[in-house]
Structure 1
Amino acid sequence: MASLLKIRFLIQRKFLNSTAKFLSSKSSAVASTSGQESADLMELSSEEINKRLMTFFDLPDNWIKEEVKSGRGWRIEELRIKSNSDLHKLWYILYKERNMLMTMEQAAKDEVENMVSPERLVKVEDSMKNIEEVIKERNRAYWQLEVGDSSPVERRRVFRRDIFGRWRMIACSEHLIPYWMNSEWRKFNAPGFGADVINFNRRFNEIQLNRRMSQLLKQQFYCRQLLKRFPNIDLDHLQERFPDIDIKHIKDNNDEYTLQNRISRFNQIFYHKKKDI
């Protein structure tokens, strides 16, 4: 694996030297407008580029090892005693380590080999989750002290439609692939829908409304029966149990509701008898 990685990822010195010379000569032609850029290109060396590129990979000595020993992840108790600046530095250290491990994981997949000590990636991700949890705790404490609200918006969320035209609260997250390149994501998450989806939403909303109305009617009937059998029932408790029902209105007009139900029931029975005749 080590030899394959070297062949695949290390850039040849001659190619980089020729590229740097070409860029430096091209930039020197426009030195009047970009003198600083040409100086930067001349200072650029292949060794520096190799060092920058190899930061995305593990140490070469670890490529041939069967196991790389690593410590445990950071615990929440240990992170709570650190300052915000220390957490900020530790976050980017773990972020860089995670990028390196993900690169090694992808390289191992390309070479159809097992990654060396894959548990390191799990430890890094757990440590980053613990850091984020500590930051959330501090944000909640700050909001509770300064604003009086203990539930701040911890991560930005947007109200958008999905592919079925339904409104959903979608949490903003980091995308590893740009929007215009991620065709698989756009198939299921891209905005926009056709007439079939609009027709589906109309029928779906009608079904939801009918279910809601049926539920409310059942609750009203249940409350009327309770008030009829127990006139001295606690109205406040009944209102808390059924917040969508106006209990006071039902109690004041319970006799009228009962009369209307009797009339409608009689008409229904009379209609069926007349139909049978």
Structure 2
Amino acid sequence: MALRVFRGLCLLKNVIQKGSTHLRTNGVHISVVNRDLMEFFDNKKNWAVEQVKVGRSWSKDELRIKSNEDLHKLWFILLKERNMLLTMEHECKSQFELFPNPERINKVEDSMKNVETVVRERNKAYYDLEVGENGERPGEMVTNLLGLNFFYRKFEHLIPKFLNKGWKDRHNFNVVNGNVEKFQRFYREKIHNEKRKKRNRDKNHVMHLMKRFPNMDMEAVKQQYPSVDIEKIKNYKKARGHYVP
């Protein structure tokens, strides 16, 4: 099957290169020039450079004013861009070279998430208007064997639930073993310790910043570290530094 598809693509490429009048009259268009496997690599002028000029990611407000056809095209453009960036990142790592502007991958992924969010909003609005319920995959809160609650998203199966033995063996919901109290106590203790350590790390980091930069914007620090009591740690010796407040 793969060999047939490859031969078909090669034949189509030869027809386009020869300039077939039939394809020209039908208005066949391609996104970019076909460069075979070079589609997975960046432009050669960006090779071995330290910085590549790029823009920001697409915002949700910008995507909401676009049509469904434009969002569909933009999704595949971002998908090709992400594949190219991941290929270049892997190649740079294998060649022990610096990958320029690695934040490009994050920008593309953020744009794809925003496109998916806008499409989900439109899909939900359509189903609410036409059917009376959203088009999201249904789900419910269930309990696993360890007594932990999580949200399980349902999906379709070829075999009914009462006949699907494999599904029943993998998904034993709302059936809790008898001796899980000790595990749950240790699990709650672990979560509590992780939160406590994170608060201490944030507090020490803020004190270090206040020591080095006494005139920094405290409102911005409060927004970034809401769990830290700025007024309380102002009188700490570690936060004062070598100056008199």
What is the TM-score with the length of structure 2 in the denominator? 0.46
Computing the radius of gyration from Cα coordinates, the structure with the larger value is: 1
Specify which structure has the higher proportion of helix: 1
What is the TM-score with the length of structure 1 in the denominator? 0.42
